[in-house]
Amino acid sequence: MLLVCRFTVPVSEVPTFTARVGRALELLTARPGCRRGSLGRSTDEEELFVLTVEFDSVVAYRRALSPFEVREHVVPLLSEAVAEPAAFESLLVADGGAVERLTSLVAADAGTVRLGEAAGPATPR
């Protein structure tokens, strides 16, 4: 599971922003199932940043966001991200020149099932 959040930060607020993200990364990466996280800055536009955090699973992601201290520091930060989808599932993972194809956990009918009709992905995509 990959969390990808983009931010637009005025240059004058960058030191405060990076300190907040540093604290968020400390909290998230200390949680079980959180593999790694990083903050990147655009090389073209100095006000654009991207926060990426990798988790073992959707369950690990949700559990990482549940402790009070995380809800107090991380959730408000994430709410300031550009309004676009931020949670992604990994489909291809590469390491050392080898690519592993992962099975999607999103049900094939995910775009058509209404709220309350589904209990889980019966048929993965």
What would the two tokens of residue 66 be?
Answer: 């549940």
The angle at the Cα of 19, spanning 15 to 25, to the nearest 5 degrees, equals 145
pLDDT range class, residue 123, cuts 50, 70, 90: low
Residue pair 51/9 in contact (Cβ under 8 Å)? The answer is no
pLDDT confidence of residue 125: 54
Provide the residue count of the chain. 125
Mean local confidence (pLDDT), 15-44: 97
pLDDT confidence of residue 121: 55
pLDDT confidence of residue 115: 65
For residue 80, pLDDT beyond 80: yes
Q: At what angle do helices 14-29 and 68-78 cross, to 10 degrees?
A: 140
Q: Specify the 3-state DSSP secondary structure of 16.
A: helix
Phi, psi at 105, each rounded to 5°: -95, 0
For residue 122, pLDDT beyond 60: no
pLDDT confidence of residue 118: 59
pLDDT digits (tens, 9 = 90+) for 51-76: 999 999 889 999 999 999 999 999 99
Mean local confidence (pLDDT), 84-100: 92
